[in-house]
A and B are shown apart, each in its own frame.
Chain A
Amino acid sequence: MSADDTEQERLKSALWYHVGKLVDEACLDLNVNATPQFIGSLTELAWVQFDNIAKDLENFAKHANRSTVSTADVLLLARKNPDLHGLLQKVVDDEAAERAAKAAGKSRR
């Protein structure tokens, strides 16, 4: 097994662990249980989704003549789903407001 393969396995294990935690939380809210196989498959699905969106984001940034992926690129991911777009827009706005507040606090000092 090459060093790259090992790194991939480690990343996937880390993702698996956190998918498991997320699923447990959602299951607790709904009073259901998930089999380990369910979590494993969902990890696989999330892995492929990460692959897809990473490449999309890279191409979106390139298309805008940038080498850094920005929040605008992430919002573009959700262009076909208005509800998702709205939720992500809120996250982006909150983040921007937080940064602005921090910057204002710094300049005052």
Chain B
Amino acid sequence: MPPKRPSKANEEDPRKNDEPKKDLTEDHKVKIPPELVAKLVKNFLEDEGTKVSGAATKTVGEYMHLFLTEAVYRAVSNRRDGDPWAKTTNSGLMLEVDDLEKIAPQLLLDF
């Protein structure tokens, strides 16, 4: 006889069916516009003559998208013992500056 599964596993997550797992490479609904990315990068360049290719700008946009999303996920994960998807307990969780401070060092090392 198989061990009794915890009741939690039997609960149907209503979002699971109508929400297919997002492919990271699919176009994000929300993203930093490439024009802004290009301007920001240009703003910080030291040499006036340096140019940035369009494909490179797009990749930097993806890089920053990952950076920012990762920051939020890590902040939540940190507050929820490594499980950012603990939806049932997540509601009402308010992310504070403290949460960002805790994850910032490792985040910056990873990026």
Spell out A's residues near B (CB within 8 Å): 7-8, 11, 14-15, 18-19, 21-27, 30-35, 37-38, 41-42, 45-46, 49-51, 53-55, 57-58, 61-62, 67-71, 73-75, 77-78, 81, 84, 87-88, 90-92, 94-96, 99
Contacts and interface: CB of A to CB of B under 8 A. Distances in A.
A88 B60 CA distance: 9
A34 B95 contact: yes
Interface residues of B, number: 59
Nearest to A36: B97
Contacts, number: 175
A90 B62 CA distance: 11
B39 interface: yes
Majority-rule SS of B interface residues: helix
Report, nearest first, the 10 A-B pairs whose CB atoms are least far apart: A54-B44, A26-B72, A34-B95, A74-B59, A32-B93, A69-B52, A68-B51, A31-B90, A38-B95, A25-B30
